Chain A
Amino acid sequence: MATLPLYAQFINLFAAFLLLLAFAMLAQRRVLSLINLFAMQGFALAVSTAIVAYGTHQSHLYWSAGLTLVLKVLLLPWLLHRLIRQLDVKWDVEGLINIPTTMLVGIVLVVFSFNLALPIAQLSHTVTRATLGIAMASVMLSFLMMITRRKAIPQVVGFLAMENGLFFAATSATYGMPMVVELGIALDVLVGMIILGVFFFQIREQFDSLDLKHLETLKENE
């Protein structure tokens, strides 16, 4: 085993933590804990980005880490918490398939994405290249979460977690995208979140619930 520099070891640790959190979110039944887990994932992402910035002297990554911290650890969870309070949401998260099965599918997805990432990681010259697989896996797991949840807020959290995975992919494979693009992405996420917030109220007004099974009337040949 060639030993990595210490900061790279820390990045690996946080990457593993990120993956673990993705699984924890997949298994989570309560919506409040889900949001807290999302905030923790954002924190892990911000810290690992900052470590990459420190280790590789890429100063623009500090901005990226700060952006993540403000947006994904503070602002978005706060918005979601507020939404839940205002909408008076108390229910648990319901899945379409039971959680152990979801977990097994999740493991398969992780193996798949590790395999997919391996040839790419070998081409990369960054010290963080190995974590690309983890980034890909967390994207896939968030995707799975979106598919298997039938309530609105968990789906949105899944969507945001997917964004986390993508950010991590950008950091680990290439030390981050150009700043303009990152800012644009952050703006889009924020605006999207606000629009969704408005949306939740509309949906609840219409259906008296945020259960997406009410949103299944538009089908073929009705």
Chain B
Amino acid sequence: MIEILFVLGLPVAGGLVLAVIGHRDEAPAVNVAVSLLTLIAAAALTVRVIADGPLLVLDKQFFVDPFNVFLVALTAFVGFTTSIFSRPYMRIEHEHGRLTVGRLRLYHSMYQIFNFTMLLALLTNNMGILWVAMEAATLATVLLVSLYRTAASLEAAWKYFILCGVGLAQALFGTILLYFAAERLLGAEGGALLWTELNNVKGSLEPTVLSLAFVFLLVGYGTKVGLVPLHNWLPDAHAEGPTPVSAVLSGLLLNVALYAVVRCKVLVEGSLHTAFAKDLMMGFGLLSVVVAAFLLSRQKDIKRMFAYSSIEHMGIITFAFGMGGPVASFAGLLHMTVHSLTKSAIFFAVGHATQKAGTQMMDNIRGLITLSPMIGWGLMLGTLAILGMPPFGVFTSEFLILTTAMRDQPWATPFLLLALGVAFAAVFSRVQPMVFGETTAKRLPLRPAMAPVFVHLALVLMLGLWIPPFLADWYRQAARLIG
């Protein structure tokens, strides 16, 4: 229980401290330190949960089981590495004159607050608080996306706010319906929104209400996951915000939103005993995969392109959780992990690449390998990993998902294969000249923070070759919970 308090308290304290000192030179270091401490607390929490089993504390308001503890660890980890990456990145942005010190303070403070909202959304047992945390995360990221205060970033932030605001309003309505269904069984004394309580009585929840609630919840949280056709905000927010923000959006926020959907799906499946929730999730997932893959090929902005790639992968994961079953859920969880690691690594590399080239337009970025071999190789390997090349972990999870789909949902496999092929062709043909082409740009004197990129990629590689038994065990437990 003390770990939970630390996991949640540290980012809040960090956010408050950085709100005061975020403009000073030592702020990035403080940011890294707070993130590191959060990671340590999260690791301690993870160890505790693995050793003692699920945790239900503080008047049942917080609940930790294998499913969310794994996401907590992942969130804290990516939060930590991103803070390392953002140290040189934001300094260069500041030196380029794109950010004032005031904005830096806002950035550092909001970064920690954003981490807090993510962790709160993961740890809370209360579906209402989950909604509140998601909305707070939206607000924090709106400020982060609009950090540059350019016309485009304001537009992206506005779109993001309105779309996600509307989406989350739907989710709130779904939550109200859920509460309505549960209140009849559990009474009004606050217990009716607790996920664990709901899970206990899910068999007797009213199916009509739950199916309607699920539609609203899926549409609502699905907007944040970036599921087609509710994805419009996602490429803009990724392209126009600072790159560390793109990294945490793709690596963390989408995961957490999907986590919310899956939690709801567990309840609905338990109540309905039909394939309703499954079919909806598979449909949305598949649609996202296919649409995103075809839109990928039309992108000119590198961050937009990888944003579409995030939509595609979120579609794959949603599809996997939609199929359900031990293998698919296992693969979905694995894919969540490797996608977050790979995508944030790519954004780290992309961030430095765009800083070097001075543009986000892919046609103007050439010959990264000669400019800086580290960035070039980082981007190349990251791209290969995200496209599902063996021996990276993405390959393993996609392979598992595809084989399960072939067995359980054969109709979907051609679409998946087609989309993956199109995505491969589109992304690889764009990245290859960027890395290996001729360049006219002169070398800029800057030392990129490439350690996070290679740490992430090494982890993804490891997960592709060998999943540590404790991790596999843990995924299996989580997959059993999801069903």
Q: Residues of A with Cβ closer than 8 Å to B?
A: 116, 119-120, 123-125, 136, 139, 143, 146, 152, 155, 159, 162-163, 166, 169-170, 173-175, 177-178, 180-181, 184-185, 187-188, 191-192, 195-196, 199, 202-203, 206-207, 212, 214-218, 220-222
Q: How far is the CA of A177 from the CA of B166 in the complex (A)?
A: 20
Checking B143, B150, B165, B183 against A159 with a beta-carbon cut-off of 8 angstroms, the contacting residue is: B165
A-contact bits for B280-308, CB 8 A (1 contact / 0 none): 00000000000000010011100000000
B139 within 8 A of A: yes
Q: Please name all residues of chain A whose beta carbon is closer than 8 Å to the beta carbon of B128 when the two chains form the complex.
A: 177-178, 180-181, 184-185
Q: Mark B143-172, 1 if CB is under 8 A from A, else 0.
A: 100100111101111110110011001001
- Could you tell me the distance between the alpha carbons of A217 and B173 in the complex, rounded to whole angstroms? 32
- B176 near A177: Cβ-Cβ < 8 Å: yes
| Complex alpha-carbon distance, A218 and B136, angstroms | 25
Neighbouring B residues of A175 by C-beta, 8 Å: 188
Query: CB of B74 within 8 A of chain A?
Result: no
Chain B residues proximal to chain A, CB less than 8 Å: 126, 128-129, 131-132, 135-136, 139, 142-143, 146, 149-152, 154-159, 161-162, 165-166, 169, 172-173, 175-177, 179-180, 183-184, 188, 190, 192-193, 206, 208-209, 212, 236, 239-240, 295, 298-300
Given the known A-B contacts A184-B128, A184-B129, A215-B155, are A174 and B169 also in contact in the complex, defined by CB atoms under 8 Å?
no
How many A-B pairs fall under 8 Å by CB?
A: 132
A166 touches B158 (CB 8 A): no
Do B176 and A170 touch across chains, with their CB atoms under 8 A apart?
yes
Interface majority SS on A: helix, strand, loop or mixed?
A: helix
Are A178 and B190 CB-contacts (below 8 A) given A169-B173, A217-B151? yes
Q: Nearest residue in A to B213 (C-beta to C-beta)?
A: A120
A148 to chain B, nearest CB (A): 13
Asked if A159 and B166 make an inter-chain contact with CB atoms under 8 angstroms apart, the answer reads yes
Q: Which residues of A contact B180 (CB under 8 A)?
A: 120, 124, 173-174
Q: Is the CB of B184 within 8 A of A181?
A: no
Q: Are B169 and A166 in contact (CB under 8 A)?
A: yes
CA distance A120 to B208 in the complex (A): 7
Contact B135 A188 (CB under 8 A): yes
Are B136 and A162 within 8 A (Cβ)?
Answer: no
| A-B contact list, 28 entries, CB within 8 Å | A123-B206, A123-B209, A159-B169, A162-B169, A166-B169, A166-B173, A169-B173, A178-B188, A178-B190, A178-B192, A180-B126, A181-B131, A184-B132, A185-B131, A187-B132, A188-B132, A188-B135, A192-B139, A199-B157, A202-B146, A214-B151, A217-B151, A217-B152, A218-B156, A218-B236, A220-B295, A221-B299, A222-B300
Which residues of A are found within 8 Å of B155, using beta-carbon distances?
Answer: 214-218
Partner of B176, one of A119, A143, A173, A214: A173
Report which of B159, B165, B173 forms a contact with A215, defined as CB distance below 8 A. Answer: B159
* Distance of A191 Cα from B138 Cα, bound (Å): 11
Q: Tell me the complex Cα distance, A96–B421, Å.
A: 40
**Could you tell me the distance between the alpha carbons of A191 and B298 in the complex, rounded to whole angstroms?**
37
- CB pair A166 B154 closer than 8 Å: no
B101 to chain A, nearest CB (A): 18
Contact B143 A195 (CB under 8 A): yes
Question: Given the complex of chains A and B, what is the CA–CA distance between A215 and B155 in angstroms?
Answer: 5
